[in-house]
Amino acid sequence: MMGIRCWSMLALFPLLAFAMQAASTDKKFDEPPGKFLSLAKSSVVQEDLDRLKTLRPEHPRLYLLPGREAALKAVIERDPLAKATFEKVRKDAEKLLTQPVSEYKLKGPRLLDVSRRVLGRVTGLALTYRLTGDKRFADRAIQEMMAVCAFQDWHPPHFLDTAEMTNAAAIGYDWLYNELTPEQRATVKQKILDYGLAPAIKVYESGGWWAKSPFNWNEVCNGGIDAGALAIADEEPRVAAYILKQSTESIPRALESFEPDGGWAEGPGYWGYATSYTAYYLLGLQTALGTDFGLSDRNGLEKTGWFPAYVTGPLNKDFNYADAHAGAAGGWQLFWFAERYKQPFFADYERQHIAKGGGPMHLVVWQPQASEKMAMPPLDVKFESVQVAFLRSAWDDPKGLWFAMKGGDNQAGHSHLDLGTFVLDGAGQRWAVDLGGDDYNIPAYFGKLRFTYYRTKTEGHNTLTIGGANQNEKAKSKIIAFRSTSERAAAVVDLSDAYKDQAAKVQRGAAMLERKRILLVDEIEPAPGKSASVEWGMQTNAQVECRGAEAILTQGEAHLKATILEPKGAAFAVREITLDPPQKFLENTRKLSATVKVEGAPMRLAVLFEPYEGASAPETKAPEGLALKDWIAWAGQK
């Protein structure tokens, strides 16, 4: 499971939602659980109860059904990667046998680290027990469960904490049902009710924001809570029926965010978090009830497995926009997506990224290597759902050329003010970097100070800064042209809304030429009667030598030649980036920039990137056709 944190948002007011969430951490969920449990029971009608008619009467019923262990053991014997994964899970479980149980400790306003640790521990220990029969692992998992049942609560003010802890308790209760004593079962069941389901009922009844959110909080909260309800549905059918009704009405709002092609606006890190709980939710319904009520048929969800493959470059680093970290995107849910949507590429991609072994849930939904060599997907793609384009020279070349650029919505979850930003890999190095998110616990990071921090403001991204100002916080930018051929691929994004207070029109185009070099073109039309100072910027970890309109970037034996083709007289500059506390320390980072003045007439700023190895830089041959109107026409757009 990816080590990431999440934040809240409302559909139209993300920062307001954050402020509300932060404020809610000071409030006590002090109403008696019985009030909400009774309310749920009284509101359930026969139609709701009928949805539980297909409930598996015995345990386990969540995720890994009885009898699956034998098949999984056989897979572990014949599949080296499955064996490596099991050995990793088992060794982790062995280490836990001598470690103390988890304690109630907040980090900032969150118990989330503890909830995730408990989920990982209980899942790994319980799975190891189911595959080995060694009761030491069951006993240690039960110790963990009893410890968290003794907590004062599962921290509903930050509801992700509650949802993930409820999922952990549900897995332990369900998978270890026969190993728990009657007293232990009663304790865990009651805490699932009091600490998990009752606070969720309060949210549903009060119209709480996460139940209406289109982003990751919706999937995580519904997924974790639904697991708790299904685990005890035979004993508490009216409460379970209520939760099931509410969650199946709520989660489609988040599933709509995958439409039409599976991209995720919150970036690759939160794609991993959101889709893992989407998979928990849908898989839990299928194993417990034999149906997911058609939710997995929703448009876009069947394509979302392509997103991590495209968003990850040849260096196994993703385009880490929206508070993400630069690692390979993916997760165990890709195995589930591969099976559900009959797309073996999803599983093969994930297998490549867990070469040393995955986690417990990988084993639960294990997928083998495809039996036949598959045709590779297209090199280039535009994700309409999030307005992000990816261009690459090859799928299997670690030194290949790879470029990603985003438009999108500055109000999407975890967004920075970064429309038009890009990342660039080539010759085995990342040249243009995204700095990712800052510490979530610094002052007002999800409030009024968010866009004062370097990593989140426009200046800290690989885009244009006009007049020294941030982009419009409510801006949306659409990729208005995209086309891919064997020799050339290009995308054009309209950034006018992002700079509407500084310029009349702004467009950025990126083209991969001959699958060897990248051409980046910006066109800026000033507002009538106004001038504007425009800074073109790119964050990099490379050493930089500026030579007027040319810059040579160096990392080891690899180099990148950047050349300003237009306007004449423009020159590169470079400066070191240092950040003051409380921002996270930033090491070995500098900004390559070029500043130009736009006065009276439209201006074009064109930069050519050419990666190479060795001592000799390529002789730059300026490409023809810099005007973006010609690119748009070439792409068949008006």
Sheet holding 429-432, edge to edge: 381-383, 388-392, 402-406, 422-426, 429-432
Percentage of the chain exceeding pLDDT 90: 89
Interval 242-260: pLDDT, tens: 999 999 999 999 999 999 9
Task: Determine the Cα–Cα distance for residues 196 and 203; give it in Å rounded to an integer.
Answer: 11
Asked if pLDDT for residue 400 goes beyond 60, the answer is yes
- Give CA angle at 517 (404, 541), nearest 5°: 60
pTM, two decimal places:
0.93
Tokens of 349: 């991609």
Task: Determine the pLDDT at residue 371.
Answer: 72
Task: Determine the pLDDT at residue 13.
Answer: 34
Task: Determine the pLDDT at residue 458.
Answer: 98
Tell me if residue 86 falls in helix, strand or coil: helix
Residue 127 C-beta-side C-alpha neighbours within 13 Å: 29
CA–CA distances in Å: residue 266 to residues 22, 75, 277, 399: 19, 35, 15, 28
**Mean pLDDT across 598-619:** 93
Question: Which CATH number among 2.70.98.70, 2.40.50.100, 3.40.50.2300, 3.50.50.60 corresponds to the domain 381-614+625-634?
Answer: 2.70.98.70
Interval 295-330: pLDDT, tens: 999 999 999 999 999 999 999 999 999 999 999 999
Tokens of 567: 């306007």
Task: Determine the pLDDT at residue 567.
Answer: 97
**Mean pLDDT across 397-423:** 97
- Give CA angle at 162 (157, 166), nearest 5°: 165
Asked if pLDDT for residue 27 goes beyond 60, the answer is no
Q: Say yes or no: do domains 47-364 and 381-614+625-634 share a fold.
A: no
Per-residue buried b or exposed e for 362-384, using 16+ beta carbons within 10 Å of the residue's own CB: bbbbbbbeeeeeeeeeebbbbbb
Residue 25: pLDDT band (50, 70, 90) is very low
φ, ψ of residue 380 to 5 degrees: the values are -120, 150
Task: Determine the pLDDT at residue 7.
Answer: 32
Asked if pLDDT for residue 198 goes beyond 70, the answer is yes
Task: Determine the pLDDT at residue 8.
Answer: 33
Task: Determine the pLDDT at residue 188.
Answer: 98
What would the DSSP string read from start to end of 468-494? TPPPPTT-EEEEEEEEE-SSEEEEEEE
Residue 470 C-beta-side C-alpha neighbours within 13 Å: 16
Task: Determine the pLDDT at residue 28.
Answer: 55
Sheet holding 408-409, edge to edge: 408-409, 476-484, 488-494, 503-513, 517-526, 603-613, 558-566, 550-555, 543-547
Residue 238: pLDDT band (50, 70, 90) is very high
Asked if pLDDT for residue 366 goes beyond 50, the answer is yes
**Mean pLDDT across 267-271:** 96
- Cβ contact 414:270 at 8 Å: yes
Task: Determine the Cα–Cα distance for residues 202 and 302; give it in Å rounded to an integer.
Answer: 32
- Give CA angle at 588 (586, 594), nearest 5°: 95
- Give CA angle at 259 (256, 260), nearest 5°: 160
Asked if pLDDT for residue 594 goes beyond 70, the answer is yes
- Cβ contact 383:478 at 8 Å: no
Task: Determine the Cα–Cα distance for residues 61 and 56; give it in Å rounded to an integer.
Answer: 6
Question: Mean pLDDT, the chain, as a whole number?
Answer: 94
Per-residue buried b or exposed e for 134-164, using 16+ beta carbons within 10 Å of the residue's own CB: eeebbebbbbbbbebbebebbbbbbbbbbbb
Residue 9: pLDDT band (50, 70, 90) is very low
Lowest mean pLDDT among 19-33, 137-151, 178-192, 344-358: 19-33
Task: Determine the pLDDT at residue 31.
Answer: 83
Question: In the chain, what are the domain boundaries?
Answer: 47-364, 381-614+625-634
**Mean pLDDT across 95-111:** 96
Task: Determine the pLDDT at residue 57.
Answer: 97
What residues does 382 pair with on adjacent strands?
Answer: 389
Closest CA to 264 of 315, 205, 210, 219: 219
Task: Determine the Cα–Cα distance for residues 522 and 500; give it in Å rounded to an integer.
Answer: 15
Task: Determine the pLDDT at residue 144.
Answer: 98
Question: Which CATH number among 3.10.20.30, 1.10.760.10, 1.50.10.100, 3.40.50.720 corresponds to the domain 47-364?
Answer: 1.50.10.100
Residue 24: pLDDT band (50, 70, 90) is very low
**Mean pLDDT across 342-350:** 96
**Mean pLDDT across 89-98:** 98
